[in-house]
């Protein structure tokens, strides 16, 4: 007897009863999360900008203060250089202070020597400047004769009081100051140059020089340095040979 194989019939699977599908995974951010992220990034950007702006402002302030310090140092260095270069020529006045302007006859620093110079220092009232005044220096062209020196000496005095456009060509504004004073060292003590104790006559221009000059200048507020600065200068000849 021959047995016949009959194929196994699988039962039909009803539609809708297959394998259950896994839910799809949703990616990205929600709208609220995006808004929060944008807000945080904006805050960070503002904070970073303020930090950079603060650094730039600090650098600008530091540079401004450094420039102001350099100007003050240069002005005081020029003051000392003028006194160190005093030139007591015969029949001239090497230095004179009248309470408003200090006039000095000095050597020139040019090489070769082109003659003597007359320089003047004063405080000029300037309402637009903080502190109300400016320390100003004036310098004449080189002089080679006594007549040229006399003209420059008189011009320096006139410049300090009523400067004209011609005289202003030879001036330079230095630093804002509120006030300044001078004292001469004579007879072992500091005194007012305009007082009898501060005045000395000598047989030569060098002998009439004081043994020392004290500058007391008050810098205007708002600068790198403010307040009073005192600078003493000692005559290298000790008052024209006096001991």
Residue 27 lies in a domain: no
pTM: 0.73
Residue 79 lies in a domain: yes
Confidence grade of residue 67 (pLDDT, cut at 50, 70, 90):
confident
Q: In the prediction, which pLDDT does 190 show? A: 95
Residue 75 lies in a domain: yes
What integer is the mean pLDDT of 120-146?
89
Residue 209 lies in a domain: yes
Alpha-carbon distances of 151 from 72, 99, 105, rounded to whole Å: 31, 21, 12
Residue 3 lies in a domain: no
pLDDT tops 90 at residue 28: no
Give pLDDT tens digits for 194-211.
Answer: 987 556 666 688 888 999
Please answer whether residues 85 and 107 qualify as being in contact, where contact means their C-beta atoms are separated by less than 8 angstroms: yes
Confidence grade of residue 113 (pLDDT, cut at 50, 70, 90):
confident
Residue 57 lies in a domain: no
- Strand spans (E) along the chain: 95-97, 101-107, 116-125, 133-139, 171-186, 189-191, 212-219, 227-234
What is the count of structural domains for the chain?
1
pLDDT tops 60 at residue 218: yes
What integer is the mean pLDDT of 142-146?
94
More confident residue, 80 or 48: 80
Range of the domain at 188: 62-241
CA distance 123 to 155: 16
pLDDT tops 70 at residue 161: yes
Residue 96 lies in a domain: yes
Residue 22 lies in a domain: no
More confident residue, 242 or 208: 208
What integer is the mean pLDDT of 160-178?
92
């Amino acid at each position: 007897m021959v047995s016949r194989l009959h194929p196994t019939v699988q039962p039909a699977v009803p539609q809708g009863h297959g394998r259950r599908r896994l839910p799809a995974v949703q990616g990205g951010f929600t709208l609220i999360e995006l808004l929060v992220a944008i807000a945080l990034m904006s805050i960070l950007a503002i904070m970073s900008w303020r930090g950079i702006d603060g650094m730039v402002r600090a650098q600008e302030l530091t540079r401004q203060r450094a420039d102001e310090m350099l100007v003050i140092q240069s002005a005081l260095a020029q003051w000392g250089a003028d006194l160190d270069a005093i030139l007591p020529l015969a029949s001239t006045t090497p230095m004179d202070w009248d309470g408003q302007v200090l006039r000095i006859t000095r050597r020139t620093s040019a090489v070769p020597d082109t003659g003597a110079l007359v320089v003047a220092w004063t405080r000029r009232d300037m309402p637009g400047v903080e502190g109300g005044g400016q320390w100003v220096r004036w310098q004449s062209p080189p002089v080679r004769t006594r007549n040229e020196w006399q003209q420059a000496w008189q011009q320096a005095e006139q410049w300090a009081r009523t400067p004209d456009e011609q005289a202003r060509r030879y001036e330079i504004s230095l630093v804002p100051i509120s006030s300044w004073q001078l004292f001469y060292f004579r007879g072992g003590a500091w005194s007012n140059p305009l007082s009898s104790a501060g005045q000395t006559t000598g047989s030569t221009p060098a002998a009439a020089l004081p043994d020392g000059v004290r500058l007391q200048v008050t810098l205007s507020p708002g600068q790198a340095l403010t307040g009073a600065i005192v600078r003493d200068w000692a005559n290298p000849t000790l008052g024209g040979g006096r001991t």
